[in-house]
Amino acid sequence: DIQMTQSPSSLSASVGDRVIITCRASQNIKTFLNWYQQKPGKAPNLLIHNAITLQSGVPSRFGGSGSGTVFTLTISSLQPEDFATYYCQQSYSKRTFGQGTKVEIK
Amino acid sequence: EVQLVESGGGVVRPGGSLRLSCEGSGFTFEDYAMNWVRQAPGKGLEWVSGINWHGSRAGYADSMKGRLTISRDNARNSLYLEMNSLRAEDTALYYCARDGGEQFGMDVWGQGTPVTVSS
């Protein structure tokens, strides 16, 4: 199975900060990379698919980039509702999630 | 409203079996691949299994391969997961999720059904 590694595992940030989360794949997955947000007690919510495409209804402060083995999720100006855990997931071969990045209030 | 509703979770003894179900509504179920994803208490998301729209092709996580069977009944808008030889480490909330394909991600999720493996 393809392994997905996120960094950092957690971070503390303030409202208005720019936040960058990195996801690395164990092999080339082209752009078959998706990002999800999960809040406590809730199901995950798809933010970005195919590495760069914003899911309908997701605010434009979220952005994705990358291809091959290295990908990033950027939140340009962190808002109070963005404090959550974020997961990357590959869809190149079967499916695999990263271990998650918890974004906490500083 | 597009919706997925899981059922069938519960408490089972180690070595036991369980069958989970997921019913879709508000969309054409047979147009989509489907997945099972689990989350152990306080842990991250783990893809468990997926099946194509027709039910002819299935995939399983290496960690659970041989103990799972995924299936679907498009006439009933339903997805299933048969789990055997359950272990304590299989304790988790099990979600079903709609899969738009390689380029589109899992865009619809159910609320999850809890599975507890304990003696």
Residues B54-102: tens digit of each pLDDT:
999 999 999 888 999 999 999 999 999 999 999 999 999 999 999 998 8
- Would you call B47 and A91 a contact, using CB atoms and an 8 Å cutoff? no
CA torsion, ordered B63, B14, B4, A30, to nearest 10 deg: -10
Residues of B in contact with A96 (CB under 8 A): 47
Residue A88's pLDDT is 98
Any B CB within 8 A of A34 CB: yes
pLDDT beyond 90 at A86: yes
Give the closest of A55, A95, A97 to B107, CB-based: A55
Question: Hey, what amino acid is at A11?
Answer: L
Confirm or reject contact between A95 and chain B (CB < 8 A): yes
**Whether B106 and A36 lie within 8 Å, measured CB to CB:** yes
Give the residue among A65, A58, A54 at the shortest CA–CA distance from A84: A58
The two three-digit tokens of residue A54, written as one number: 């914003």
